[in-house]
Chain A
Amino acid sequence: MITKRLLTRVIIPLCLLFIAQTSLAQKTISGKVTDSKDGSPIIGASVQPKGGTTGTSTGTDGGFSLTVGNDVTALVVSYVGYGTMEISIAGKTTIDITMSADAGLNLNEVVVVGYGTARRRDVTGSVQSVKAKDFNKGVIISPDQAIQGKAAGVMIISNSGQPGGATTVRIRGTSSIRSGNQPLFVIDGVPLSGNSARPGSTGSGIGSTPGTNPLNFMNPNDIASIEVLKDASATAIYGSRGANGVVLITTKRGQSGIPTVEASVAGGISSIMKKLEVLDAAEYRAALKSYNLATGDYGGNVDAMDAILRTGFTQNYNASVSAGNENARYRVSVGFLDQQGIVKKSEFQKLTANLTSNFKLLENKRLGVDLNVFVSGTKEQIAPISNDAGFTGSLIGQALQWNPTHPLYLPNGDIWVNNQIGNTTVNPLAMLEAYDSRLNENIILASVSPYYKITNHLEYKLLYSVNKRVGAGKGELKRWINIEGIQNRGAAVLDNGEDLTQQITNTLSYNREINPNFNLNAVVGHEYMTFDNRSHGMFGFDFTDAGNLRYYDILQYSTQTSRGIYVNPGIEDQLQSFFGRAIMNFFDKYLVTATFRADGSSKFGANNKYGYFPSLAVAWNVTNEEFMKGSSFVNSLKARLSWGKTGNQEFPGGAPLGRNAFGQQSIGATNFANPDLKWETSTTINGGIDFSILNDRLSGSLDYFHKKTEDVLFEQVIAAPGPTGGKIWFNIPGNIVNKGFEISLYGGLIRSKDMNWNMGLNLSFLKNNVEGILGFYETGALHGQGISGATSQRLVSGQPLNSYYLPIFEGIDKATGQGIYSGGDPANNKFYVGSPNPTTLLGFSTDFQYKKLTLFVNLNGNMGHKLYNNTANTVLPIGNLGTRNVAKSIIGGAVKEDASNPITPSTRYLEKGDFVKLANATISYAVGKVGVFRNLNISLTGQNLFVITKFTGFDPEVNTDKNVGGVPSLGIEYTPYPTARTILLGLNFSL
């Protein structure tokens, strides 16, 4: 009912309001579009009357001529890489337009906001826009990696070095415990579910393998710009899905003009960025001697880490054709990426084929259709590296702890499987050989969006999208590997997953300069989405080797009693929403944005089906005040203030209702009714300033935010007695508060015909705190030898999320060689000793161009947090001496650690996580026109060239998933896939 009431009250009056439409005389306007940097003409830029339907594009001299109605007050000019601008033509018949490819804030630029666009000068929210030319360069598999370090307040870390591996993206800190902290990604108006169809399990015997990034299906080469929406004024239009921030991805479009082909070819090599320091054979022998150990020297001299690593080759090909006229435009692209991992038998391949098109129909061109299709296939081969390997380890742990004096091969050349070190020590080469796991995912994201201009200012738009993903996985572990449960048995698994998201969105938008003193940009809409995810699989044990056949190809050969099947049928979730937004500009000085969204979700409890998310923001364009007129110092200055509520509903569907689930020959309750369950709410206050000074040489933004998350969703243990694994979803008491300060600066140090030098810097200071929750929740599981069941982190009031709770290590006792801990036995003396949440985020980029040569450098860093080195803790302890390898750092110190000192989790392995990374540096040379090739450009890119840190693990940019019962962890390293350093040579050109 609320629907109809809302509609009759909002939409109908809006419709009626604009019926009185007058038709006036026409005028012709002409002009030229040039590049602001060197005055060169911009060819093929699109020029359209604002609110109009027919436009033109600039010729080879950059010139254009267009007939428009007398009521048209502005032109909309756009060109790839230069963005979109709105130029006032009031009282003019000729106009020269300069466009800038600079990343600086251009206030006339049109930016994408949720469900529409707005002039940047009208934006009241905290929105950061990153254009394609400013993306990180090199091997970029997913779009989020392209903007790492580019936006203030946004932390993006790769969880490991695995090609295509998952990333942790946090906009303005972590605000939720259980309901997901990744932002909402929206591609050309299509919000993604965040789900993947890639099966999770990839074979038994080694624990759970890390996930991949659900955005891998996108080809970053197809993206024109990425907007990060940070405060509630910007995100409230996404209501119950906006609390973690929203990332809008806009893909490249066809431009008017003759067909243009753009192509690029790149090839590169990758090798490990940093190796961990373990003993080599000579050092190992010396250590055995100093510890008086008679055994442990097997006479060889090997480096097991080198044996599993390789130089990985990467190749990347992209080609696109785009063309169009005023009535039809298209862009078709294909891309292929093949990245070999630096660990043997690991690889990521991606094939993409995309079409974006736009058609204008009917005689009056008022009907338009956008049709976009993204098709993508990814193929992965996975190395046997897991998040939670135990005593026998997974590949990286096995290689690190392999005794450097024990040959990897038998004298006859076979891999030495049943080695002399002991039957629980696994030869990493044997592991590579015995394990085979392959995953693939095929994805289609298609959307069709007809729109009709009812009047020049009023537009109705329908968007229908479907995102279908299907995934399959297969894995085997050979019977001859000496892993308990697998040895003499063998294991194989086949998994399948599918994911379907559908969306219907209706919007009605009104955008008009009603009079010179009042501009209104309004949108109302309705959206209905369904989400559906399911998976199933089967596994079996007890194979006998039949030639070299893969066990997963002969799964039926397993023994009957060892087989198992599972089905996760999932639940179809639905989301229905009503929303509206009005952006009002008074006198070009005072801006007001009001947003409202009502979300009804099948996930919410019966008593709270709908959630309501309002936001209000004001801004003041100070530069347009009389007293600022004539200021040569300040080019623009805008102050913003916003308040709003956003929600988070990323908890599993079905949580509010009690239900019974089926196990093998059993049935039992799995979920318990909480009909009061509702979304989690974040209330954000944001204050900010955008400025541009010194002839736009220096521009930037300052923002302060305070974000308080309430009604925190948590899956709480049922007060016993409850069913097995019995948990119930609650909105628990307590808050999570994130507050912080962000600075973005962009400066043009040198601007001349031959030489240009730009610099961008963003810096964020974040603070996170948990308030008012009862008791505590444990997470941050530690794994490996000797610490079964140990955890390292807690969620508790008065501390940041995921605070470390550990014994304090005071050193090694000189007399006994045993560890000393504050308060005595570390089992009973633990303390809160720091947080894995960075308090400072840094991004720095610069580009320097001299004639045809350009240098780009991007640095990023996180500071003020601690990382737990689970690898050092359990994989390389002193007790290994005599059998396995140990960390170099624990041998030869002033105090000799006794070989029996236990593996105790403590602050000994808690390290400062501060780092600054040279994420990528590129030198490119613009050759220009060579034969038929235009814009020929050669570039050389280095990724992960160096990292400055005191962290002793592979890479301080790490987040191994160590959740406990679904409570996420942060900042723990455990034998992850090592990070690669990549050198890439690229060539691109157009035809």
Chain B
Amino acid sequence: MKRYRILIVCSLILVAVSCTKLEQKWRGAIEQGQDIPVSDLLRSAYNGLNNPMMDQSRFWAAQEHTTDEAIGPTRGGDWDDNGVWRVLHAHTWNADHGFLRDTYRELLQAQYSASNVLQFSPSATQAAEARFLRAFTIFLVLDGWGQVPYREDLKDFKKFPKTLEGAEAVSFIISELNAILATLPDGPAYVANKDAARVLLMKTLLNKGAFLNKAAPTFDAADMNQVVTLADQIINSGKYSLANNFFDNFTWDNDVKSTENIFTLYNKDGDRGGNVRSRWFLGLHYNQNPSGWNGFTTLSDFYDKFEAADTRREQSYTGVTNVSGLKVGFLVGQQYNQNGVALTDRKNNPLAFTREVKLKETGANLEVTGIRVIKYPVDYTGGDQADNDYVVFRLADVMLMKAEAQLRGATGGAASALTIINQIRTKRGASSLAGPATLDILLDERGRELYWEGWRRQDLIRFGKFLGTWQEKTASDPKNLLFPIPSEQLAVNPNLKQNPGY
């Protein structure tokens, strides 16, 4: 009897413990490899550029803070941020720099998002758009770090990516762009389009010498002629013209108003976008409208490159000045509200931005030092997401690249270059230059036209001036021509090696 009972219990236990398979039960996610809508993936690929391009602490900071156009002064208790801004301007960064690390990672993430589209049977146009985005990110990383990790297998992330460098990377970009040019759509600007691919080709050809040897770039005449050819295709298309109001290119409805923009990143409240509003928040004082972060400024030497009549320097802008008293361009001196009442700082002193600024501000007026920059007219209409599309490529840049190529040996030469420069200057209200056009004049004009648009570091390197001295910066070491590969990536990818000098 007892034996019988025990056996029953034992067999009951056996039933109770019959194996489960221990499989995951998914709910809010699907396993990779299943079909997902390609259009959403493509949208994700576009969105992938938002943060690394628009945030004030990413690619923009790497391209502008390291130059004579921008500085992030430490203002007593504000903006020390562990010295991250100071080391950018002073060229003393190292491989632990958090923002450079994040920029590198996010740009490569954008590359991945673009590549990912190609895995899921996109249409020919979708594939071309994705390949453009991928080529663009490779171009940006190549420019900053010289080494571009690239994954051929997007499924197994335990494998290490290979590294594209120098000539291999350049020819990859060029062959990709040529392959997709015919398939890309014609527009609008916030979609990868034929002209955007042409501009990227021009930039790749123009910077090819620097990509191969940043310390001593050379310029191949065939490449320069190719730049001119591409520029002419854009200029003569009739689709673009220099804007009547410079700042219309950057305003909240620039997708409608701008006649210059060729490639932009789309921003729309309630839809999608990036941190474009940081472009005004980071400079505006706390007591301005909107209440800003009282951070970055430009430098007086750079400001002084402008003529007083130059509309790019300062002007009132409808929808901004009448709302808050703010002007667009450069803010220097006493600031007013919309009723003309003079503003004060937090210590009740006049809110008057000084011309001069130091890397480390220690004076009693440290709140108000430095000339602030408002290139994007403030969007007062929306919520947290401003509607200003972020400008990547535009006509004036194309024209100045054509002029530069002509100064660097393309047909047309200095005379044509001067015509182009003066064409732009006239439109912007500045006086015509007598000439002859030189590379220095051209570089200055690029500064005046494209200030704070994220091209300055690339320009200074191409013109051999990046290691020089300017306000709050002494001559720097050649290692600084490339950013260091972030420690974070060296720890997880043995195919990367640290750039020389770091």
Which residue numbers of A lie inside 8 Å of B, CB to CB? 1, 3-4, 7, 11-12, 15-16, 18-19, 21, 293-296, 421-424, 452, 454-455, 458, 460, 462, 484-485, 489, 504, 506, 508, 526, 528, 534, 541-542, 559-562, 567-576, 578, 600-602, 609, 653-654, 657-662, 665-674, 716-726, 728, 774-776, 785-791, 816, 818, 825-828, 877-880, 882-883, 898-905
| Cross-chain contact of A901 among B2, B76, B150, B363 (Cβ < 8 A) | B76
Contact indicator B157/A673 (Cβ below 8 Å): yes
Interface centre among B22, B79, B155 (most CB of A within 10 A): B22
Q: In the assembly, what is the distance between CA of A506 and CA of B11, in Å?
A: 12
| Cross-chain contact of B23 among A567, A602, A716, A775 (Cβ < 8 A) | A602
Q: In the assembly, what is the distance between CA of A577 and CA of B467, in Å?
A: 64
Contact indicator B77/A879 (Cβ below 8 Å): yes
Measured CB to CB, the nearest residue on chain B to A722 is: B112
Contact indicator A720/B83 (Cβ below 8 Å): no
| Cross-chain contact of A422 among B25, B26, B287 (Cβ < 8 A) | B287
Contact indicator B19/A721 (Cβ below 8 Å): no
Contact indicator A827/B27 (Cβ below 8 Å): no
**CB-defined contacts of A826 to chain B, threshold 8 Å:** 82-83
**CB-defined contacts of B10 to chain A, threshold 8 Å:** 11-12, 15
Interface centre among B33, B48, B109, B155 (most CB of A within 10 A): B109
Contact indicator A785/B78 (Cβ below 8 Å): yes
Q: How far is the CB of B93 from chain A (nearest CB, A)?
A: 8
Measured CB to CB, the nearest residue on chain A to B51 is: A724
Chain A, interface SS category: loop
Stretch in B213-221, B341-349, B406-414, B441-449 touching the partner: B341-349
**CB-defined contacts of A672 to chain B, threshold 8 Å:** 32, 157
Contact indicator B109/A902 (Cβ below 8 Å): no
Stretch in B175-183, B197-205, B370-378, B487-495 touching the partner: B487-495
Binary CB contact string for chain B from 37 to 67 against chain A (1 if under 8 A, 0 otherwise): 1001101100110000000010000000000
Measured CB to CB, the nearest residue on chain B to A671 is: B29
Beyond A666-B44, A723-B109, A789-B81, whether A295 also contacts B150 by CB under 8 A is no
Q: In the assembly, what is the distance between CA of A435 and CA of B13, in Å?
A: 55
**CB-defined contacts of B427 to chain A, threshold 8 Å:** none
**CB-defined contacts of B81 to chain A, threshold 8 Å:** 786-790
Contact indicator A571/B112 (Cβ below 8 Å): no
Beyond A526-B17, A662-B28, A718-B157, whether A454 also contacts B151 by CB under 8 A is no
Contact indicator A506/B493 (Cβ below 8 Å): no
Contact indicator A904/B82 (Cβ below 8 Å): yes
Q: In the assembly, what is the distance between CA of A421 and CA of B286, in Å?
A: 11
Which residue numbers of B lie inside 8 Å of A, CB to CB? 2-3, 5-7, 9-10, 13-14, 16-20, 22-34, 36-37, 40-41, 43-44, 47-48, 57, 74-84, 86-87, 92, 94, 98-99, 104-106, 108-109, 111-113, 115-116, 149-151, 155-158, 160-161, 269-270, 272, 286-287, 290-291, 346-349, 360-364, 366, 383-384, 487-493
Contact indicator A721/B161 (Cβ below 8 Å): yes
**CB-defined contacts of A661 to chain B, threshold 8 Å:** 28-29
| Cross-chain contact of A828 among B92, B157, B361 (Cβ < 8 A) | B92
**CB-defined contacts of A600 to chain B, threshold 8 Å:** 22
Q: In the assembly, what is the distance between CA of A901 and CA of B78, in Å?
A: 10
Contact indicator A786/B77 (Cβ below 8 Å): yes
| Cross-chain contact of B347 among A295, A460, A728, A905 (Cβ < 8 A) | A295
Q: In the assembly, what is the distance between CA of A665 and CA of B43, in Å?
A: 9
Contact indicator A660/B5 (Cβ below 8 Å): no
Contact indicator B151/A721 (Cβ below 8 Å): yes
Contact indicator B82/A905 (Cβ below 8 Å): yes
**CB-defined contacts of A902 to chain B, threshold 8 Å:** 74, 76-77, 80, 360
Q: In the assembly, what is the distance between CA of A1 and CA of B36, in Å?
A: 37
Measured CB to CB, the nearest residue on chain B to A455 is: B2
Contact indicator A789/B98 (Cβ below 8 Å): yes
Q: How far is the CB of A22 from chain B (nearest CB, A)?
A: 11
A-B pairs, 6 with minimum CB distance: A827-B83, A879-B77, A775-B491, A561-B270, A569-B28, A720-B108
**CB-defined contacts of B27 to chain A, threshold 8 Å:** 534, 569-571
Beyond A15-B7, A900-B76, whether A670 also contacts B366 by CB under 8 A is no
Measured CB to CB, the nearest residue on chain B to A1 is: B19
Measured CB to CB, the nearest residue on chain A to B98 is: A789
Contact indicator A720/B104 (Cβ below 8 Å): yes
Contact indicator A786/B79 (Cβ below 8 Å): yes
Beyond A576-B20, A899-B76, whether A658 also contacts B82 by CB under 8 A is no
Measured CB to CB, the nearest residue on chain B to A14 is: B10
**CB-defined contacts of B158 to chain A, threshold 8 Å:** 674, 728
Given A602-B24, A669-B116: 14 more A-B contacts, CB < 8 Å? A19-B2, A424-B286, A455-B2, A542-B383, A658-B155, A659-B29, A660-B34, A720-B108, A721-B150, A723-B116, A724-B106, A724-B113, A786-B80, A789-B82
**CB-defined contacts of B490 to chain A, threshold 8 Å:** 775
Contact indicator B105/A717 (Cβ below 8 Å): yes
Contact indicator B109/A900 (Cβ below 8 Å): no
Contact indicator B113/A423 (Cβ below 8 Å): no
Interface centre among A19, A661, A670 (most CB of B within 10 A): A19
| Cross-chain contact of A295 among B98, B111, B290, B348 (Cβ < 8 A) | B348
**CB-defined contacts of B487 to chain A, threshold 8 Å:** 775-776
**CB-defined contacts of A294 to chain B, threshold 8 Å:** 347-348
Contact indicator B20/A726 (Cβ below 8 Å): no
Q: In the assembly, what is the distance between CA of A15 and CA of B13, in Å?
A: 12
Q: In the assembly, what is the distance between CA of A789 and CA of B5, in Å?
A: 68
**CB-defined contacts of B360 to chain A, threshold 8 Å:** 902
**CB-defined contacts of A560 to chain B, threshold 8 Å:** 270
Measured CB to CB, the nearest residue on chain A to B7 is: A15
Contact indicator A721/B111 (Cβ below 8 Å): yes
Contact indicator B362/A422 (Cβ below 8 Å): no
Q: How far is the CB of B10 from chain A (nearest CB, A)?
A: 5
Q: How far is the CB of B94 from chain A (nearest CB, A)?
A: 6
**CB-defined contacts of B19 to chain A, threshold 8 Å:** 1, 3, 576
Measured CB to CB, the nearest residue on chain A to B80 is: A902
**CB-defined contacts of A455 to chain B, threshold 8 Å:** 2
Q: How far is the CB of A3 from chain B (nearest CB, A)?
A: 5
Contact indicator A659/B17 (Cβ below 8 Å): no
**CB-defined contacts of B290 to chain A, threshold 8 Å:** 484
Contact indicator A562/B383 (Cβ below 8 Å): yes
| Cross-chain contact of A504 among B6, B16, B25, B270 (Cβ < 8 A) | B16
Measured CB to CB, the nearest residue on chain B to A424 is: B286
Contact indicator B9/A454 (Cβ below 8 Å): yes
Measured CB to CB, the nearest residue on chain B to A489 is: B383
Q: How far is the CB of A972 from chain B (nearest CB, A)?
A: 15
Q: How far is the CB of A44 from chain B (nearest CB, A)?
A: 34
| Cross-chain contact of B30 among A454, A504, A508, A660 (Cβ < 8 A) | A660
Beyond A485-B384, A828-B92, whether A574 also contacts B22 by CB under 8 A is yes
**CB-defined contacts of B384 to chain A, threshold 8 Å:** 485
**CB-defined contacts of B33 to chain A, threshold 8 Å:** 658
Contact indicator B25/A828 (Cβ below 8 Å): no
Q: In the assembly, what is the distance between CA of A960 and CA of B222, in Å?
A: 62
Measured CB to CB, the nearest residue on chain A to B31 is: A659
Q: In the assembly, what is the distance between CA of A654 and CA of B30, in Å?
A: 11
Q: How far is the CB of A567 from chain B (nearest CB, A)?
A: 6
Beyond A668-B41, A726-B112, A877-B77, whether A660 also contacts B347 by CB under 8 A is no
Q: In the assembly, what is the distance between CA of A576 and CA of B79, in Å?
A: 53
